Amino acid sequence: MSENKKALLNQFDALLAVTTDMVLLLKDDRVIGASAGDQEWLDASQLLEKKLSDILPQDMASYFSDLGKKAFESGDTVHADYAFRPEHMPFFSELGMPEPIAYKGRMRAADNNVIVWVSKNMNDRKRLERKITHQAQRDSLTGAYNRRALLPVLEQNVAQSIRYDGICSLLLIDIDNFSDINDQFGWDAGDQLLRQIVTELHRMKRTSDFLARYGDDQLALFLSETNHEQAMLAGERVRRLVHELEVPYPTGILKCTVSVGVSSIIGLEDTAPDMLKRIEENLAVARHSGGNRVEGEG
């Protein structure tokens, strides 16, 4: 072997050693080189001299074989997204594959009829994307959903309820004189009180209900399959729950009351924006009537 070729092979081995991607070298659908990358469960040496059909289910082996042919014919890099699942892949399962793994793959033809197949593990990125999506729909202070998350839920459920002659309602909960609590005890006290109210509402609500922070001192509770009379009773339970709540704080016991507006579907032409408009009007009546009360339709 020439010195130049040895140098190239050493450079290639060094590249494989530092990459976090799984890399396979294929020739005639047989693995002639392998690097596990950051797949700690994988002993890459176990792949050497195995045919694709030895390590993959037949349909997947055929799929990746076709991708390799496409890479040869096009002379370009071929891209593909795929997932490996232990329950479908006995060979990888025996090697210790711990969970389904989503990959972003690339194949490209090299010299001597060799295909370079690179698979990037996307699980961590997908987990991060889910976390970011979760955070984008959650209020950072209370952990409840935020207004952005509530609106599509409300619109979808109102439309569905009207289509199938169903019922649903919404509570808009406003903490009375919340600014006074912040002025007297400090912003941290107001934050702690709000978090505790959310915790108690989570305990009270049904699994099918949807709780969101609607504003600085406002919470919204969507009630599926709930008529107006039932929603008014739910609003009264919320009012009573908060009225009886006492939150210990270094400078004193935190207490508050809430005003609750209630709105329910009232006809086939009703919409989510209509419900929101009515509920804000109902809430305004409750607040201007002295607070610590529930106001609904009519």
Q: Is 92 exposed, middle or buried (0-12, 13-18, 19+ CB in 10 A)?
A: buried
Whole-number pLDDT of residue 1: 47
Parallel, antiparallel, or unpaired: how do β-strands 145-146 and 210-215 relate?
parallel
Give yes or no for a contact between 294 and 262, defined as CB atoms under 8 angstroms apart: yes
Helix intervals (H) in 19-144: 52-55, 58-74, 90-95, 123-136
Distance CA(24)–CA(16), nearest Å, equals 10
Which is nearest to 76 in space by CA: 108, 105, 114? Answer: 108
Residue type for position 207: T
The residues of the chain scoring below 70 in pLDDT are 1-13, 129-130, 132-135, 298
The pLDDT value given to residue 10? 63
| Rg of the chain on CA atoms, in Å | 30
Which residues are CB-contacts of 133 (< 8 A; sequence separation ≥ 6)?
A: none
Q: Give me the pLDDT at residue 251, please.
A: 82
Q: Which domains does the chain have, with CATH numbers?
A: 3-126 (3.30.450.20), 137-295 (3.30.70.270)
Here the tokens at position 33 are 């080189």
Alpha carbons 34 and 21: distance in angstroms, whole number = 11
- Residue keyed to tokens 């106001």: 295
